[in-house]
Homo-oligomer: A and B are copies of this chain.
Amino acid sequence: MANDTRTRMIEATALLLRQRGYHGTSLNDILSASGAPRGSLYFHFPGGKDQLVIEVTRDSVDKVSRWLGEELAAEKDPAVAVHHIYQSVARMLEDNQFTLGCPIAPLVLDSPADVPELAELCRSAFEQWIGLLQAAFVRAGVPERRARALALLVESSLEGLMVIARASRDRAPVLAVADEVAALIESALPAKEVAAVQ
């Protein structure tokens, strides 16, 4: 198949970046993980490592954004949806034995400063995800400003939890925060009209 090798390289790179970051992932790692020879990499990605990383990250961000949007749309109550999101993250961490985390955080912390396109990609990734969360809270009746603070709290705690859980190889922190945050969001929603009003 035409772009089969290309696809394998992208998938292998995505995993390695989440595992070890930019500098921790060498082209040799990528080549041996994808089983492709050196020449193919520069055929499919003439821009070398940076182009590959940028394309991979763009893909990863899109995937997460799509998933996040679906999760938030699937539940009417955003507190329930957010709780479910934390649980999914906990499951993801456990499934890969705490070797994988967010695709963006490692790049923010270790990617070279001379690739502005990558920096912009990281910035816009967080903006997108926070925007999706905020929009869900607004739809449920939370005022704009409060919704943004809650979205930031959710996104930041998830990012931090992926680091903490990886360090401690334990998903419990994720679940504990999930309950706390879900309750907070619930309390920020306008009171449900129970039975009879007045």
Contacts and interface: CB of A to CB of B under 8 A. Distances in A.
Interface stretch (A7-15, A47-55, A179-187): A179-187
Contact of A109 (B110, B119, B123, B177): B110
- State how many copies of this chain the complex holds: 2
B20 A167 contact: no
B153 A181 contact: yes
Nearest to A184: B184
A167 B104 contact: yes
A155 B150 contact: no
Contacts of A37: none
Nearest to A173: B152
A148 interface: yes
Given A23-B110, A109-B101, A110-B110, A153 B166 contact: no
B180 A153 contact: yes
Interface in A29-63: none
Nearest to A158: B160
A159 interface: yes
A177 to B, nearest CB: 5
Most-contacted residue by chain B among A101, A112, A122, A167 (CB, 10 A): A167
A3 interface: no
- Per CB-CB distance, the 3 closest pairs between chain A and chain B, nearest first, are A159-B160, A156-B160, A23-B23
Given A104-B167, A156-B158, 17 more contacts: A20-B23, A101-B109, A109-B109, A123-B168, A123-B169, A149-B176, A149-B177, A152-B164, A153-B153, A153-B177, A156-B156, A156-B160, A156-B164, A157-B157, A158-B160, A159-B163, A184-B184
